[in-house]
Amino acid sequence: MNAKPATPLLDTVSTPEDLRTLKPAQLRQLADELRTETISAVGQTGGHLGSGLGVVELTVAIHYVFDTPVDRLVWDVGHQAYPHKILTGRRDRIRTLRQGGGLSGFTKRSESEYDPFGTAHSSTSISAALGFAIGSKIKGEPGRGIAVIGDGAMSAGMAYEAMNNAAEAGNRLIVILNDNDMSIAPPVGGLSAYLARLVSSGQFLGLRELARKFARRLPRPLHVAAKKTDEFARGMAMGGTLFEELGFYYVGPLDGHDLDALVPVLENVRDAGEGPILVHVVTQKGKGYTPAEQAADKYHGVQTFNVVTGEQAKAPAGPPSYTGVFAKALVAEAANDPTICAITAAMPAGTGLDAFAKQFPDRSFDVGIAEQHAVTFAAGLAAQGMRPFCAIYSTFLQRAFDQVVHDVAIQNLPVRFAIDRAGLVGADGATHAGSFDITYLATLPNLVVMAAADEVELVHMVHTAARYDAGPIAFRYPRGNGVGLALPETPQLLEIGKGRVVREGTKVALLSLGTRLSEALKAADVLEARGLSTTVADLRFAKPLDTDLIRRLMLTHEVIVTVEEGSIGGLGAHVLTMASDEGLTDAGLKIRTMRLPDVFQDQNKPDAQYDEAGLNAPQIVDTVLKALRYNSAGVAEARA
């Protein structure tokens, strides 16, 4: 157990109002204590560590200079917001991060007035901050929109769409670019800080605007030349001409860990009459914690860890992860098929495609945070005769739905969608849950949609997708480890639209899709013990349905229960539609659907989430008994 650190100055700061009473000379100590507290808390709970440590000084400076929450502060993605939470009245709960009933690992409107906009998906912050800026301007209310966005998030087009529409916000919009990979430009010593302070000053901005007004009165060739000279001069000294072209006044780059540089520049930006303004700060992931500085990739997301040694808790040995099984199966397929290629949107390790890239670098593509491009790029590859596998988390595939429809499904192009993190995902909560892909994909003509019940089925589905050229095909699988089955040496080619009966019965039929199959089998044992003969089927396909199997079971069983790890409108809806269309419900067949509830579920352990959702063996049993009008003892209730 990590001991809580001594933080005498931080103990006096509960809110940004408290922070603003400190003297500038005290901010360095506060930042050091805030970093120590962040390390201690994440050591106990696990979570995203490196990005938060990289913005400690920036967090202190923003809340010290700006009038939050009147000034609306939006953290892009939100991984880095743990220090922000500590400074905004949530320190007493910081050791409940990502736990059931605890603080979210991201910013969340319902948690605090200092979280004006919820984030978790990338590149949304500038659009949201622009909305705050324009809204307050129209209403004549005080307040700015402040977006803090990382250089990685700047790879997504949405950030530039927002910046391209930001001119009307004027000085009410401030974008702080947190460059923690130094991918744009590094700060160069004291000269960079001096120039940033100079060009953000009111005097400089005033002179610049005066020069602009004068230049507008010049003949057009001289006006254009003056504009280019202004941009060139500042570009030579500062960089940032791209942002200037988008209408932003660029300040930076600044050392994001130097409070003596940050505070005066942010004060100048706050008081500027010009805008919108982009402030470019360069930070280091994991700053101030040696293990995280030396291995930033290993400390981006962490398990609980020993603060002194940096050693992370190891998960108990168990079956391989579904992600690992997918990656291994895809590598095996690609070894025998030179047309197979793989695409990820900035998640090579998360999707397992880093293993594919090592084997086949020329056929592996990381397109950055650009899911829309990833899908249409895959469509182009498919149209050229390649066999692309587009590996994307379920929650992120939502961002590319139009491309799935317009560029893939309508053209019936054989893109393979490997949908990771399907179903409930645990500590990341509602923003990352893969709840909707069955519903939004199975509604589309031409698409085949599969769900793996276990790791063996996943291997078969990778093989089936690799061999399927008739159109687009998707297969979904959850976060976490498999159930412990031995993987097949030779994968099976599944017949499209055909499920399998795992257990035969006569009275009750449980139709499972995905990894709830294990719970369905447990429920069947309980029902059998109560004298209710139970069939369990793994449908494998949400689309096309195995109508022959479903029809047979409906004609020979009294109760049908569908079980899936998806939202309303998924498997259950398709089965009910089929039954209705074929008149199979006319003779009194009892059909019940079990699915995720129509809510956004908060973070918890995955098993606890599924218990809360009612998708476990006891709830399946209860659903069957209620359909049969049996009481909890399994005795039929009297009919009225």
Which residues are catalytically annotated? Answer: 285, 371, 399
Beta bridge partners of 416: 389, 473
Buried b (16+ CB within 10 A) or exposed e, 11-35: eebbebeebeebeeeebeebbbbbb
Query: Directed axis angle between helix 220-238 and helix 189-199, to 10°?
Result: 140
- Distance from C-alpha of 368 to C-alpha of 347, rounded to nearest angstrom: 8
What would the DSSP string read from start to end of 569-631? Answer: TSHHHHHHHHHHHTTTTTT--EEEEE---SS-PPP--HHHHHHHHT-SHHHHHHHHHHHTTB-
CB of 331 closer than 8 Å to CB of 363: no
Write the CB contacts of 265 (distance below 8 Å, at least 6 apart in sequence).
Answer: 193, 196, 197, 200, 251, 254, 279
**CA quadruple 381, 383, 389, 393: dihedral sign:** positive
Q: 407: which 2 tokens?
A: 């560029």
Give 20's DSSP letter.
T
**What is the 3 state secondary structure string of 290-318?**
HHHHHCHHHHCEECCECCCCCCECCCCCC
Element (DSSP H or E) covering residue 538: strand 534-538
Give 407's DSSP letter.
I
CB of 176 closer than 8 Å to CB of 282: no
**Phi, psi at 61, each rounded to 5°:** -65, -40
**CA quadruple 560, 566, 568, 570: dihedral sign:** negative
**What is the 3 state secondary structure string of 214-263?**
HHHCCCHHHHHHHHHHHHHHHHHHHCCHHHHHCCCEEEEEEECCCHHHHH
Where residue 22 falls (left for φ over 0; alpha for ψ -120 to 50; beta otherwise) is beta
Q: 67: which 2 tokens?
A: 């009038």
Provide the Cα torsion 148, 152, 153, 158; round to 10°: 130
Report how far Cα 601 is from the mean position of its chain's Cα atoms: 15
- Distance from C-alpha of 262 to C-alpha of 148, rounded to nearest angstrom: 14
* Cα-based distances in Å from 181 to 178, 184, 243, 281, 536: 9, 8, 18, 11, 51
Q: Which of 636, 522, 512 is nearest to 575 (CA)?
A: 512
Which ranges constitute the DSSP H helices of 505-588?
517-529, 547-556, 571-581
CB of 103 closer than 8 Å to CB of 111: yes
- Distance from C-alpha of 304 to C-alpha of 313, rounded to nearest angstrom: 6
Write the CB contacts of 108 (distance below 8 Å, at least 6 apart in sequence).
Answer: 115, 118
Give 39's DSSP letter.
H
